[in-house]
Structure 1
Amino acid sequence: MTIKIAGAPISWGVCEVPGWGYQLHRDRVLAEMRGAGLSATELGPDGFLPTDPAELTAVLAAQGLSCVGGFVPVVLHDARHNPADDLTGPLAALRAAGAGVVVLAAATGADGYDSRPVLDEAGWATLLENLDRLADQAAAAGLLAVLHPHVGTMVETRDDVDRVLAGSAIPLCLDTGHLLIGGTDPLELAKAVPHRIKHTHLKDVDAALAARVRSGELTYTDAVRAGMYTPLGTGDVDIAGIVSVLRNNGFDGWFVLEQDTILDSDPTDEGPVRDVHSSVAYLTGVVA
C-alpha cells in the first residue's frame, strides 16, 4: 500500500517565530520538496506563500505540489478574545488552495515556544469550548480542524492532551516530536486513541535533548538549534511502530515530514533537504 507523504517549510527552517533564523526563499524550498519526492506541502507561516488564491495555486502547481493544510496558532483560552475571527482568513486561503486540514495550536498569545502560562479552570473551559466551536467553523468551510499539541502552547503535556480528549470532540494532529518533548509517548497515544488521530506530523527526536527541555535546562529554541530533531529513523521515536498502528487502524490521512531546523545563513552545501531525503527514504522503507 502507498501512503500520502507531504512536507512542511519548517524542515527548511521557515518558521513564524520572529528571529527564528535565516529564511530560505519559497522557490528553493518548494523545488527541493518536489525533488525529494513529496507531492504536497503545508502552507507555512504568513508571507511564505502568496495569500491570493490564484497566485498561490499557480506557485504550487509550478512545482507539481498540492496543499494539504496549514498550521494556525490561535489564542483559545481568553474569554475576551474571539478566535473565530482569526480563523476566517486562513480557512479561506486553505479552501481556495484545495486543502483539507487546518492544524490548530492553542497559542499563548506571546511570540515563540519557550514558555507558557498555567491555565485556571475558567481558561480551560473557554479553550475546550472554543475548540469545538472552531471545529464547527472549519467544517462549515469544508475543512477538517485538528488540534496540534505543541511545546510552548496551552496544550503541551499529557495531562493537557487528556483534558482535550475528554472535554472536546476535536481530532488530533499526532506530532510525534512535540508529544514526546511534552511528556507523551506518541506510540502509546496512537494505540490508545487511533480514532481521534486524523493528521500526523512525523518527527524523530534526540530524547536526551528533549529531557533537557522538559527539565527547563534548555529552551525549546536552543534545543532545536542543537539538533533535537533528527532524520526519521535516527532518533528515539518509534516511527515505524506509530505508522504501523495508525495504518492498521484505518488511518488514511497525510504523513507530514517535519524536522524543525534553524539556519544561521544561506547554506553553501546541500542544506536541509539532505535530511528530508533521508526521512523520505526511511518512511517509504517502513511502508515497503
Structure 2
Amino acid sequence: MTTSVPASTKASSVAGENPGLRIGTAPDSWGVWFPEDPKQIPWERFLDEVVKAGYTWIELGPYGYLPTDANQLEDELGKRGLKLSAGTVFTGFHKGEEQWKRAWDQALDVAGLASKLGAEHLVVIPDLWRSDATSEVLEARTLDDEKWAKLAAGHDRLGKALLEEFGMKQQFHSHADSHIGTTREVLRFLEETDARYTNLCLDTGHFAYYGGDNVKLIEQHPERIGYLHLKQVDPTLLFDVLKNDTPFAEAVAQGIMIEPPHGIPDLAPIIEAVSKIDSEIFAIVEQDMYGCDIDYPFPIAERTRKHIFGCTHFARVN
C-alpha cells in the first residue's frame, strides 16, 4: 500500500532540502501546570531562562500564566526574540452538549490571544478520568459508543470553528489517565474524526506511556500528524506506575517523565520521520515536572536542547 505525501514534502525532496523541524519548549518543562501557583517559577524568569537555554519557540502554557494582554505579551516575547507556536485548552466533549460552551469560552481567550501573536495551532487536551490535582477518580476509564460519538463530533466542531474564526488548527493531545491514551484509542479517535478539522499533537511520552510506537503511528498516519510534543518516559519506573495504578500526577512527582536521553522513545527517529512529512511542523519539548524546585528545570532544558541538536540533523531553532 502506498502512502500519499504532502505537496510541501515533495517539493522539499525534489529540491534536496529538508531543514528539519522547529524545536521549541513550553512552560510545562519548567514545572508550570496552573495559571497561578506560588511554587511555580515566575513567568519573567521562565522567559529569560528559555532564551538562556537556547530556544526561540514557546507555547502559551496555562492561560493566565503569561500575560494575557496581547500587546504586553508581544513586547515581552519580542524583546527576548521569542515566538509563540501554540496555546492549549481542555475539553470534555464526551460528557454532553453543555461542554461546547466551556470549550469555546476557553478558545475565545486562548486562540484569541495566541492568534494575535501569530500562533497557528491550538493543542487540545481531553479531560482526565482521574484528577491530576487530587488523584480522585472522576468517571469510568473507558467510553461507550455514545460517548465516543459525542467526543468525536465535539472535536470536529471545535476544529472547524477554530479554522473559521481564528485560522488556527486543532491538534489533539492523547494523555495518560485520559480516555484517549492507548494505541487502539488513538486509532479509533482518528477513525471517528475528520482530518480537515482534527489532527494530532503527538506527545511522544504520553503515547509511549501506554506502550505506543510513535514511529509506527507516524508512518501509518502521516496525514494526521500536525504537531509534536517531545518527551521521554522512564521505562523502569513505568512498569511500577502501571502495576500499582499510580495516578499520573503522582507518577510525575516520582519522575516518570525523564530527561532525554535516559528514557523512551528515542527522539531522533521521531523527529526525522515527521520532518519527512512537513518540515514546518513544530516539535516542542514538554517534560512534565510539576512540583519541582524552581532551580531544577533550567539545566535540564539546556541539556535537552543540546541532546536533540546533537542526535539529529533534522532540527532547527527557527
- TM (norm. structure 2) is 0.83
1:11 aligns with 2:29: yes
**What's the CA shift string for 1:227-256, capped at 9, x where partnerless?**
222222221212111112112233421110
Equivalent residue letter for 1:120: D
Paired residue secondary structure (1:5): strand
Of the three residues 172, 190, 198, the one matched with 2:226 is 198
Q: Using the alignment, how far apart are the partners of 1:266 and 1:283 within structure 2? A: 23
Q: Using the alignment, how far apart are the partners of 1:137 and 1:213 within structure 2? A: 38
Q: Using the alignment, how far apart are the partners of 2:239 and 2:272 within structure 1? A: 26
1:86 aligns with 2:106: yes
Q: 1:240 to 1:2 in 2, by over 3 A?
A: closer
Indicate the residue corresponding to 1:245 in structure 2.
273
Give 1:22 shift.
2.1
Structure ranking higher on relative contact order (CA contacts 8 Å, 6+ apart): 2
Indicate the residue corresponding to 1:77 in structure 2.
94
Q: 1:22 to 1:89 in 2, by over 3 A?
A: same
1:119 aligns with 2:143: yes
Indicate conservation of the 8 Å contact 1:26/1:48, yes or no.
yes
Q: Using the alignment, how far apart are the partners of 2:170 and 2:42 within structure 1? A: 28
- Structure 1 window deviating more from structure 2 (72-81 vs 142-151): it is 72-81
Q: 1:221 to 1:18 in 2, by over 3 A?
A: farther
Indicate conservation of the 8 Å contact 1:75/1:109, yes or no.
no
Q: Using the alignment, how far apart are the partners of 1:119 and 1:47 within structure 2? A: 31
**What's the CA shift string for 1:171-204, capped at 9, x where partnerless?**
1011000111133122221222122101000001
Paired residue secondary structure (2:146): helix
Indicate the residue corresponding to 2:162 in structure 1.
138
Q: Using the alignment, how far apart are the partners of 1:149 and 1:263 within structure 2? A: 22
Indicate the residue corresponding to 2:125 in structure 1.
105
Q: Using the alignment, how far apart are the partners of 2:127 and 2:244 within structure 1? A: 20
- Structure 1 window deviating more from structure 2 (112-121 vs 182-191): it is 112-121
Equivalent residue letter for 1:149: S
Of the three residues 46, 52, 59, the one matched with 2:69 is 52
Q: Using the alignment, how far apart are the partners of 1:287 and 1:276 within structure 2? A: 17
**What's the CA shift string for 1:67-104, capped at 9, x where partnerless?**
10012111211223123333222111111121110000
1:233 aligns with 2:233: no
Indicate the residue corresponding to 1:280 in structure 2.
305
Equivalent residue letter for 2:159: A
Indicate the residue corresponding to 1:152 in structure 2.
177
Indicate the residue corresponding to 1:162 in structure 2.
187
Of the three residues 284, 287, 294, the one matched with 1:259 is 287
RMSD across aligned C-alpha pairs, in angstroms? 2.1
Indicate the residue corresponding to 2:5 in structure 1.
none
1:219 aligns with 2:237: no
Bigger radius of gyration: 2
Paired residue secondary structure (1:77): helix
Q: 1:79 to 1:202 in 2, by over 3 A?
A: same
Give 1:123 shift.
0.9
Equivalent residue letter for 1:38: Y
Which structure 2 residue ranges, 5 or more long, are not aligned? Answer: 1-18, 314-318
Aligned residues: percent identity? 28
Paired residue secondary structure (1:241): helix
Which structure 1 residue ranges, 5 or more long, are not aligned? Answer: none
- TM (norm. structure 1) is 0.91
Give 1:210 shift.
2.2
Equivalent residue letter for 2:286: E
- Structure 1 window deviating more from structure 2 (82-91 vs 98-107): it is 82-91
Paired residue secondary structure (2:94): coil
